[in-house]
Amino acid sequence: MKAEDKRPVVKLSCAAPAAEFTQITLSHGSGGTQMRQLLQQYVFECLNNDWLQKQEDAAILQVEGPFAFSTDTFVVSPLFFPGGDIGDLAVNGTINDLAVSGALPQYLSLAFILEEGFSSASFLRILQSIRRCCAAAGAAIVTGDTKVLERGKGDGIFINTSGIGRLRVGVQLGVSFLKDNDCLLVSGPLARHGIAVMSRRKGIGFETSIQSDTQPLHEICGMLSDALGTDLHLMRDATRGGVGTILHEITSQSRFSAEIEESALPVEQEVAGACEMLGLDPLFVANEGVFVAAVAAHKATEALALLRSHRFGQQAALIGRLRSDLRAPVVLNSTIGGRRVLPPMRGELLPRIC
Amino acid sequence: MKAEDKRPVVKLSCAAPAAEFTQITLSHGSGGTQMRQLLQQYVFECLNNDWLQKQEDAAILQVEGPFAFSTDTFVVSPLFFPGGDIGDLAVNGTINDLAVSGALPQYLSLAFILEEGFSSASFLRILQSIRRCCAAAGAAIVTGDTKVLERGKGDGIFINTSGIGRLRVGVQLGVSFLKDNDCLLVSGPLARHGIAVMSRRKGIGFETSIQSDTQPLHEICGMLSDALGTDLHLMRDATRGGVGTILHEITSQSRFSAEIEESALPVEQEVAGACEMLGLDPLFVANEGVFVAAVAAHKATEALALLRSHRFGQQAALIGRLRSDLRAPVVLNSTIGGRRVLPPMRGELLPRIC
């Protein structure tokens, strides 16, 4: 099977196809002639590679040693927002799930649910984002699927990506590796993605220069784990639910509490203003290019310097530490000198943020 | 990472949880407390295993040698139909994509898109199907994702599964291995899934005893490839678009045409009647447990006997052969002695059949 069909990659352009249609129709999901046209003219044209060209039911891959496997579905609304679109999220989201697991992202699947009437121009624009993000992350779309819903049964486009990546040598990440007094770092400023999406949402929209932070974290995560080895105990990307939710996840899955310094939280001024206006706590607003790391206390300064040396980590911060002697899961020392318990998020702050 | 957290599998029951809610709400997709409850009480309770218990962003796996990777999204309507439901399809569909690729299915991801208001009882019923089908196929759900849409932006539940499976030793499958005069077999009777779903569709519904053929093909595919080795040239499961679409796919991707004997096509009487009533050609109606195989001509009799010896292949049939001397891609010798070109499917016969 591996020897099969070594046709060269013919083309990597991603121009608009000779438009035979301007909207997705039900027949694009039929498995028949029109679906093949959609795949050929749009998907394969844009994401061309040997695996996709074979058009088999599965891609044949090989990974030496242990690998990470992750999945994520994207239903963000609106589809296009300042700093990105659903295509960026779909690639970077899964890249980042692999990256924080200590893996080097390699192979992605790509599955579309399209709504009848969705514009082919928007589809092409999203495919171009997918192509760009895959190239930036050095990952390839190797297998896929397309379904079409009747008008009114979906909302334009939903995307699932699943991903595979070889585990980096020597990483040991997970809640079971956490230690008392571990330092907690965040790799960048909070809440940008959530606020950027909300700024374009119907009924809420406001003028802002805030852009989504959607970006691939494999490089910065890899740099950190290579430098720290087993002194890096855990990484989690702080998407839905934000950094606050990650802190609650970590503490609920381990025997530790988290003590956080509010004054250390990196929140850009315009983001802070928007959060105040919307009544949101930036700790619980989504990011798409920020992760939380727990590192051995004696490596905290080195880790912070490393993160800040990377273009995606310039505003990294040491925000607190793990403790085994606190009663509440997450405690916040506030900027005005108070000390309060940070409750987990209940209800839904920002539906369809990713 | 591999050494981490060897907690035993605690429980494999799948009883209804103490109902704190009867419907999915937006907060079940928030990443916060309610989402954790939904996962704990429903998903993990039902699909419990070491990978899911870790609740990390990715599962860590290892596969020796080459493996197959596939993805499929399921948007079938209605969700429950004679012989199965969307949960069965979501597992068996990806199992079968791996199986026809010559792989032994091992690991699946599971991603839900739920609509606000979807009943928790239906969700549980679907999870139970997923659990049952995974057990039957010997595969495990190792990672997942859950998103929730506002009421009216989805249609109850959509499911994506992606899958990984070790490639069987010695398989060489794909259009580039096809040879002139290869025999074409189907593993079972045509069109049952499509007709079963249509029988329950709004505005079409009719009384029938026809059940979907949703079933896992890894065993029967494995048996065939073990016995035939490199004399088995290609397998494809004939889902959307049916066997007719697979024949057009194969011929469009190779230099061969397919010559089919209409009298050899296995179509159950009640299915044939329903197809006639609905104006459908069973060759283009979906199956969920039938595959097409191309085998070296001298192995056709052995292959047919093997297929028929398996419980999922009792009605297997030799339906035709590949030829390099025909002008049309697919030619059908009809039961009344005629000979006609079989055109590919255009338009959409049966939207949302899987």
Residue A281 touches partner B, C-beta closer than 8 Å: no
Residue B68 touches partner A, C-beta closer than 8 Å: yes
How many angstroms away from the CA of B286 is the closest CA of chain A? 10
Instruction: Kindly report the number of other CB atoms within 10 A of residue A209's CB atom.
Output: 8
A-interface mutation test, from B28, B149, B160, most A Cβ less than 10 A away: B160
Q: What's the pLDDT tens digit per position in B298-344?
A: 999 999 999 999 999 999 999 999 999 999 999 999 999 999 999 99
B-interface mutation test, from A56, A104, A109, A173, most B Cβ less than 10 A away: A56
Alpha carbon distance B156, B152 (integer Å) = 9
Q: Which residues of A touch B36 (CB under 8 A)?
A: 252
The closest alpha carbon to B110, from B156, B64, B155, B46, belongs to B46
User: Does residue B305 or residue A55 have the better pLDDT?
Assistant: B305
Residues 6+ apart with CB under 8 A from A333: A259, A260, A261, A262, A263, A339
The partner residues of A323 in beta bridges, in order of sequence, read A257
Q: What's the pLDDT tens digit per position in A102-135?
A: 999 999 999 999 999 999 999 999 999 999 999 9
Q: Which residues of A touch B34 (CB under 8 A)?
A: 346-347
Cis bond leading into A78, ω under 30°?
yes
Q: What's the pLDDT at B120? A: 95
Alpha carbon distance A292, A100 (integer Å) = 9
Alpha carbon distance A134, B239 (integer Å) = 29
Lateral strand order in the sheet of A103-115: A140-149, A103-115, A157-167, A67-74, B59-61
| Domain range list for chain B | 26-167, 175-335
* A352 contacts B149? CB cut-off 8 A: yes
Task: Transcribe A116-184 into DSSP letters.
Answer: TT-BHHHHHHHHHHHHHHHHHHT-EEEEEEEEEEPTTSS-SEEEEEEEEEEEPTT---SGGG--TT-EE
User: Looking at chain B, which residue has its C-alpha nearest residue A241?
Assistant: B31
Please calculate the CA angle A261-A291-A250 and round it to the nearest 5 degrees. Answer: 70
Alpha carbon distance A314, A316 (integer Å) = 6
Q: What is the mean pLDDT of residues A332-343?
A: 94
How many angstroms away from the CA of B13 is the closest CA of chain A? 22
The closest alpha carbon to B165, from B134, B129, B132, belongs to B134
Q: What's the pLDDT at B349? A: 67
Residue B26: both structure tokens together:
């937006």
Residue B334: both structure tokens together:
């009809």
The partner residues of B114 in beta bridges, in order of sequence, read B148, B157
Alpha carbon distance B71, A147 (integer Å) = 12
Q: What's the pLDDT tens digit per position in A127-140?
A: 999 999 999 999 99
Q: What's the pLDDT at A18? A: 58
Instruction: Using the structure block, give the residue that is written with the tokens 């030793």.
Output: B169
Local confidence pLDDT in tens for the 354 residues of chain B:
333 333 333 333 556 665 578 999 999 998 888 998 999 999 999 998 999 988 888 999 999 999 999 999 999 999 999 999 999 999 999 999 999 999 999 999 999 999 999 999 999 999 999 999 999 999 999 999 999 999 999 999 999 999 999 999 999 999 999 999 999 999 999 999 999 999 999 888 888 999 999 999 999 999 999 999 999 999 999 999 999 999 999 999 999 999 999 999 999 999 999 999 999 999 999 999 999 999 999 999 999 999 999 999 999 999 999 999 999 999 999 999 999 999 998 877 678 999
CA distances (Å), origin A271, targets A242, A280, A342, B66? 14, 10, 20, 47
Give the length of chain B.
Answer: 354
Residue B209: both structure tokens together:
């005893």
Chain A, window 30-59: residues with a beta carbon less than 8 angstroms from a chain B beta carbon = 30-34, 36, 54-59
How many angstroms away from the CA of A16 is the closest CA of chain B? 23
Half-sphere exposure of B121 (CA within 13 A, CB side): 2
- Give residue A20's pLDDT band: very low, low, confident or very high (50, 70, 90): confident
Q: What's the pLDDT at B11? A: 38
User: B26-167: what fold?
Assistant: 60s Ribosomal Protein L30; Chain: A; (3.30.1330)
Kindly report the pTM of this predicted structure: 0.94
Q: Which CATH number does A175-335 carry? A: 3.90.650.10
Q: What is the mean pLDDT of residues A289-297?
A: 98
Q: What is the mean pLDDT of residues A319-330?
A: 97
Q: What's the pLDDT tens digit per position in A172-229?
A: 999 999 999 999 999 999 999 999 999 999 888 888 999 999 999 999 999 999 999 9
How many angstroms away from the CA of B175 is the closest CA of chain A? 8
Q: What is the mean pLDDT of residues A248-275?
A: 97
Q: Which residues of A touch B109 (CB under 8 A)?
A: 69-71, 162
Chain B, window 85-124: residues with a beta carbon less than 8 angstroms from a chain A beta carbon = 96-98, 100-103, 107, 109-113
* A241 contacts B103? CB cut-off 8 A: no
Task: Transcribe B83-143 into DSSP letters.
Answer: TEEHHHHHHHHHHHHHHHTTEEEEEEEEEEEEETT-BHHHHHHHHHHHHHHHHHHT-EEEE
Residue B145 touches partner A, C-beta closer than 8 Å: yes
Q: What's the pLDDT at A204? A: 83
* A172 contacts B4? CB cut-off 8 A: yes
Alpha carbon distance B111, B267 (integer Å) = 34
The values of phi and psi at residue A304, to 5°, are -65, -45
Chain B, window 195-224: residues with a beta carbon less than 8 angstroms from a chain A beta carbon = none
Residues 6+ apart with CB under 8 A from A122: A79, A80, A156, A157
Q: What is the mean pLDDT of residues A310-339?
A: 96
Q: What's the pLDDT at B15? A: 60
Alpha carbon distance A248, A263 (integer Å) = 19
Alpha carbon distance A290, B48 (integer Å) = 30
Q: Which residues of A touch B47 (CB under 8 A)?
A: none
pLDDT greater than 50 at residue A65 = yes
Size of interface A-B (CB pairs under 8 A): 280
Chain B, window 244-273: residues with a beta carbon less than 8 angstroms from a chain A beta carbon = 245, 249, 252-253
Residue B346 touches partner A, C-beta closer than 8 Å: yes
Alpha carbon distance B211, B81 (integer Å) = 8
The values of phi and psi at residue A275, to 5°, are -60, -45
3-state secondary structure B177-218: HCCCCCEEEECCCCCHHHHHHHCCCCCCCCCCCCCCCCCCCH
* B69 contacts A164? CB cut-off 8 A: yes
Residue A21: both structure tokens together:
């249609």
Instruction: Using the structure block, give the residue that is written with the tokens 């049309």.
Output: B328
Residue A98: both structure tokens together:
């692999």
Q: What's the pLDDT at A321? A: 98
Most distant CA pair in chain B: distance in Å?
67
Alpha carbon distance B89, B74 (integer Å) = 7
Alpha carbon distance B343, B210 (integer Å) = 27
